[in-house]
Structures are given as C-alpha cells and as structure tokens.
C-alpha cells in the first residue's frame, strides 16, 4: 500500500489495524558510465513497493538524496550532510508515529546512509517513540551475490547493474559495460589505499577513476531478477517478523536491577 495513493480515511482504516511502515531510501549519485544516478533510490523503492504489495503494509515516498559527499567529484551527484540527513529522516519518521505507526523498516540501498539510519533508529527507540531498523538489500542475500558474480564490487558493480537491468533496463548503457570495468577497479583489495592500518582515502574517486568497482560485464537481466526476487523475499520475511513482535519486546531494555537510588 503506497501512502501517497491513499485518502486520509483509507489510512485511518489502515492504522486502526496495522502499525508498521516501510520507508525506502537511496541516493542520487554517480554509478559509473553505465548506470543512472537514480540507481540506489530505484532499487530501494522497487523492493519496498514489491514487498509491501505482497504483505499489504504501508510504503512511504522514497528519500532520493542521501549521504553522498564521497561521490561529489562526479557530475550530478547530490548529497546532504549527515546531521541534516539524520534530522530529516527522524522528523519524517516521527510523522508516522503521530499517525499511529510504532515500527518502521528503513529499506536502504545506499551504503553511505547505513550508519546514520542506525543512529536515527536509536534515537527513536531511546525516547520510546518507536522501533526503527535499517535493512540493506545486498546484505540480506550475500551468498547469492557471491554465487552469481566473481567480482560483485561494492559500488556500481554487476550486482547493482543486474538489478537495474531488471528494474529499468532502458536506463542501463549496456554499450558502456566494458568501459565501466576497464576504467574502474575490478578487485578492490582489503589493503587498497591503507597505510599501517589507517584508511588514507575519503572519496570514491581516490579508489576508482570512473567511480565504480567490479566486473560489470557479468551482469544480466536474469541475474537481476534472481537478486530482486531473493531480496524481496527477505524483506517480506523481515516485515512479517517485525509485525509479529510485541511492542514491549522491541523497546530498549530497562536498567539492570537494582535501579540507582533504590538503596537495596
């Protein structure tokens, strides 16, 4: 159920029976010479809409601009700084709590958002507003990703390429897949741009001249369909699990007994 397509009485009926919402979030940032800047938010919204269509739960509009300053050297990349991102997402999510939602899944498709969504979830739980958790699609199906691709790449690689081939193939510049591979970094080693245990880079361009990693030529629409179906299944399972939890079990545990000042 997509919130923006409903009327307010219809949403009143929803919150009378349900208390869960799904919030998709991504980015508008470079994904190499072959993928659109919309890659992350297209993936997040498509998965969120597919899963909530299956479960009947509420899906909000997508947050399309995320924490992406590390891609800023590439044309068109948009970003917000972390404090503003956290405050915006928190404020938007509190809107849902006002209307009766007490549990939220942040369907995230951009790694730069992850730690900040976790922080928002902590804030909302610590003050007793709701339980909100971050979910990242590729982290839910790691075995399938490694089975499908020898070099999946952390950004703009074949896993994202295959997903967009499945979701919006017309946006993939398939004639540039070889350029993406040859102008990027196929295998990013664990010690790349590190010195004596310190990470010495801040921006994507320091790792890859064209901004992407992995072997994009391995991507196919068929692989994308497998990824999409498997990730959607995982999200559906998470929605059903969270929906079944008692609210008290989701809130922060009490201080260990005895409480300070009880003098016992």
Give the pLDDT band (50/70/90) at residue 201.
confident
Cβ 101 vs Cβ 58: under 8 Å: yes
Confidence check: pLDDT of 194 > 90: no
Task: CATH number of the domain at 46, please.
Answer: 3.40.50.10310
The gap between the terminal CA atoms of the chain, to the nearest Å, is 52
Q: What is the pLDDT of residue 56?
A: 97
Contacts of 137 (CB under 8 A, 6+ apart): 43, 44, 47, 107, 108, 109, 231, 234, 235
Q: Is residue 171 helix, strand or coil? A: helix
User: Mean pLDDT throughout 206-228?
Assistant: 96
Does any domain span residue 260? no
Confidence (pTM): 0.94
**Token couple for 117:** 């969504």
Residue 64 is given by DSSP the state -
Give the pLDDT band (50/70/90) at residue 5.
very high
Question: Could you report the per-residue pLDDT of 224-263, keeping only the tens digit for each?
Answer: 999 999 999 999 999 999 999 999 999 999 888 777 776 6
Does any domain span residue 92? yes
The residue among 28, 35, 29 whose CA lies nearest residue 176 is 35
Question: Could you report the per-residue pLDDT of 167-176, keeping only the tens digit for each?
Answer: 999 999 999 9
Confidence check: pLDDT of 190 > 90: no
Pure H helices in the chain? 8-17, 39-55, 82-98, 114-126, 142-148, 158-168, 177-183, 221-244, 247-250
Q: What is the pLDDT of residue 21?
A: 98
Give the pLDDT band (50/70/90) at residue 264.
low
Does any domain span residue 34? yes
The residue among 152, 75, 63 whose CA lies nearest residue 108 is 63
Out of 87-101, 210-224, 244-258, which region has the weakest mean confidence (pLDDT)?
244-258
Question: Could you report the per-residue pLDDT of 113-164, keeping only the tens digit for each?
Answer: 999 999 999 999 999 999 999 999 999 999 999 999 999 988 999 999 999 9
Does any domain span residue 158? yes
Contacts of 141 (CB under 8 A, 6+ apart): 227, 230, 231, 234
Does any domain span residue 259? no
Does any domain span residue 253? no
Number of domains in the chain: 1
Q: Name the region of 261 (left: φ>0; alpha: ψ -120 to 50; beta: rest).
A: left
**What are residue 185's DSSP bridge partners?**
213
Q: Report the chain's mean pLDDT, rounded to a whole number.
A: 95
Does any domain span residue 261? no
The residue among 143, 144, 134 whose CA lies nearest residue 109 is 134
Domain ranges, residue 239: 1-247
Does any domain span residue 255? no
Confidence check: pLDDT of 16 > 80: yes
Q: What is the pLDDT of residue 91?
A: 98
Annotate 209-221 with b (16+ C-beta within 10 A) or e (fewer): ebbbbbbbbbbee
Confidence check: pLDDT of 43 > 60: yes
Q: What is the pLDDT of residue 195?
A: 85
Question: Could you report the per-residue pLDDT of 47-87, keeping only the tens digit for each?
Answer: 999 999 999 999 999 999 999 999 999 999 999 999 999 99
Dmax over CA atoms of the chain, in Å, equals 73
């Amino acid at each position: 159920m997509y919130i923006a397509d409903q009327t307010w009485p219809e949403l009143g009926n929803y919150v009378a029976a349900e208390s869960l919402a799904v919030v998709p979030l991504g980015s508008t940032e470079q994904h190499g010479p072959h993928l659109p800047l919309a890659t992350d938010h297209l993936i997040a919204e498509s998965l969120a809409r597919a899963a909530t269509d299956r479960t009947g739960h509420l899906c909000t509009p997508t947050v399309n601009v995320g924490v992406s300053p590390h891609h800023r050297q590439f044309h068109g990349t948009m970003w917000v700084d972390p404090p503003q991102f956290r405050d915006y997402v928190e404020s938007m999510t509190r809107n849902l709590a006002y209307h009766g939602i007490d549990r939220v899944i942040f369907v995230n498709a951009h790694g730069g958002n992850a730690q900040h969504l976790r922080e928002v979830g902590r804030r909302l739980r610590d003050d007793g507003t709701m339980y909100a958790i971050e979910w990242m699609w590729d982290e839910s199906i790691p075995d399938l990703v490694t089975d499908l691709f020898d070099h999946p790449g952390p950004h703009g690689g074949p896993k994202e390429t295959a997903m967009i081939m499945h979701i919006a193939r017309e946006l993939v510049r398939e004639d540039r897949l070889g350029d993406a591979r040859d102008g990027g970094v196929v295998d990013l080693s664990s010690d790349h741009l590190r010195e004596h245990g310190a990470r010495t880079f801040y921006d994507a361009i320091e790792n890859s001249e064209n901004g992407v990693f992995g072997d994009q030529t391995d991507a196919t629409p068929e692989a994308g369909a497998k990824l999409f179906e498997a990730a959607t299944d995982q999200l559906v399972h998470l929605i059903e699990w969270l929906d079944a939890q008692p609210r008290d079990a989701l809130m922060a545990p009490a201080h260990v007994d005895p409480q300070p000042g009880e003098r016992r």
